[in-house]
Amino acid sequence: MLASILGVSLPPTLALILTLGFIFFLLRRDFREHPNVTWAIWLPIIWFFLSASKPISAWLNILGLPITGAVSLEEGSPLDACVYLSLIVAGCYVLSQRRINLGEIIQNNAWLTAFFIYCFLAVVWSDFPLVSFKRWIKVLGHPIMVLILFTEPNFEEAFATVMKRAAYVLVPVSILFIKYYPQWGRRFDPYTGEAMNIGIAPSKNMLGAICFLLGLFFFWYLLRTFQREKSKSRKRELITIVFFLLAIGYLLQKAHSVTSTLSLLVSILVFVILGLRLVDKRVIGIYAAVGIVLFVIAQLTFDVFGYIVELSGHNATIEGRRQLWQELLHMNINPLIGTGFESFWLGERLQKLWDEHWWHPNEAHNGYLETYLNLGLIGLLMLIGLILATFRKCRLDLLRNPLWGRFGIGFLVAIVIYNWTEASFKALSPLWFAFYVIAIRYRDAAATSARYLEGNSGLEQESASVEAARI
């Protein structure tokens, strides 16, 4: 992987062997470090990996094992459905063995529960209720996998293990595919006809989303690792983190995803600002409100986002999306309840849009518009309420566990911006998975992780000052 970043050419077979060896070395080292996690952590690791890369059927095709059977937007692959269902069932079994308290989950996550119930009800008025119900079950896998993390001995350690082990495969293989196996790592841009890099992901936008999420994670993990006592293990971990940050920067440049790059920069900026001493964390809500007002004024007055897009050379792409947005807003749907849970891009509506657009759109490229089309104004308002409720939870984390709270707010602000030109509030998006990580609360895992970190790094004095500020 280092050779690829430095521009050194190797025979594809040798590059493949070195990449696999590098992945094996990283995973083996991580196992030997004995992270405070259980075997069940592999369920969310596999779930996140499949969400961020390709389904099982696609991987088998790459390996030369073509899968037969009905594959369509309505039905999907039976094999993939079985794999996702198996992971969900296994996750439910793990949670049942850990005697998870469903009442506590509902009580601590009222907005999230209400949103999921409404999505379930939206299956009823879908034109394709069976397909809609299957997709609802699949999305239910996100909170199930996240709850496995919350019921691990240490939540932050479990989250870091999932992200690291997934990154150990996602990042090196993406570079390998782009550099040495273009038949899998590249596609052609439907707007310009130019070759675009997708790496291990199904699209360049998804590759950018992976880089955005992993970039913020490794930035957070870098500061978290700095808090550990000095040791050889800490030094090795810091070197690995810096290496992956550079590799992620390389992939972002290759993906040429403006939205993901901007989202990563915004998330890191928010993360850094929240760490400044002059920022009063008790009034972070006021800062957020002022920031939103200033951004809206700047956007309406100077079209800040449009200026950034113009500098990036993505005018044609954004203009095409704006035309699509106008057309979607004039579609004949129920404005209050939408077309049903994840049902808009099916049947006659999809065929009509494909007949009019040669590039065959299958999403609105706007998370809020996508939610409106599927769930109507009611669903959109519930999504906004869920985002506000999540911000409130992250604000409390900022007082009890500052480093994790900074990660949560930084990611939340960035994903709100990200969904202006992309749609991640749906399906198996890795960003939707990460959203549940910061949105769900169970047994005060953030505070527990903070105490665990203090016991291993001698941060009692800082914790006392945070508690004083909270009181």
* Dist CA 332 CA 83 (whole Å): 36
Which candidate, 378, 381, 350, 382, places its Cα nearest to that of 363? Answer: 350
| Of 297, 303, 350, nearest in space to 322 by CA | 303
* Structure-token pair, residue 434: 């990460």
Question: Can you give the residue ranges of every domain in the chain?
Answer: 2-470
With a CB cutoff of 8 Å and minimum separation 6, the contacts of 408 are 390, 393, 394, 397, 398, 438
Indicate the residue type of 206. Answer: M
Residue 276 token pair = 């400044």
- Partnered with residue 195 across adjacent β-strands are 188
Using one digit for the tens of pLDDT, what is the confidence trace for 56-67? 988 988 887 776
The interaxial angle of helices 78-97 and 42-52, nearest 10 deg, is: 150
Question: What is the distance of C-alpha 79 from the center of its chain?
Answer: 24
Q: 365 vs 81, 110, 145, 202, 368, CA distance in Å?
A: 25, 28, 26, 15, 9
Q: What is the pLDDT of residue 319?
A: 61
121 secondary structure, DSSP code: H
The number of CA neighbours under 13 Å toward the Cβ of 302 is: 9
Query: How many CB atoms are closer than 10 A to CB 249?
Result: 15
pLDDT value for 210: 96
Q: Can you tell me the distance from the alpha carbon of 416 to that of 424, in angstroms, rounded to the nearest whole number? A: 10
The model's pTM: 0.89
The closest alpha carbon to 242, from 266, 259, 226, belongs to 226
Burial class (CB in 10 A: 0-12, 13-18, 19+), 114: middle
Residue type, 288: A
Calculate the alpha carbon distances from 179 to 4, 254, 339 in Å. 7, 10, 42
Structure tokens at 275: 């760490």
Query: Which residues of the chain fall below pLDDT 70?
Result: 1-8, 67-75, 189-193, 299, 303-320, 444-471
Helix (H) or strand (E) holding 195: strand 195-197
pLDDT tens, residue by residue, 325-347: 889 998 989 999 999 999 999 98
pLDDT of residue 288: 81
Residue 205 near residue 44, CB atoms below 8 Å: no
What's the CA gap between 362 and 360, in Å, rounded?
Answer: 6
- The CA distance from 29 to 268, in Å, is 28
φ and ψ at 467, to 5 degrees?
-65, -40
Query: Rounded CA gap, 166 and 46, in Å?
Result: 8
Q: Using alpha carbons only, give the angle 29, 34, 40 rounded to the nearest 5 degrees.
A: 105
Helix (H, G, I), strand (E, B) or coil at 187: strand
pLDDT at 312: 52
pLDDT value at residue 138 = 93
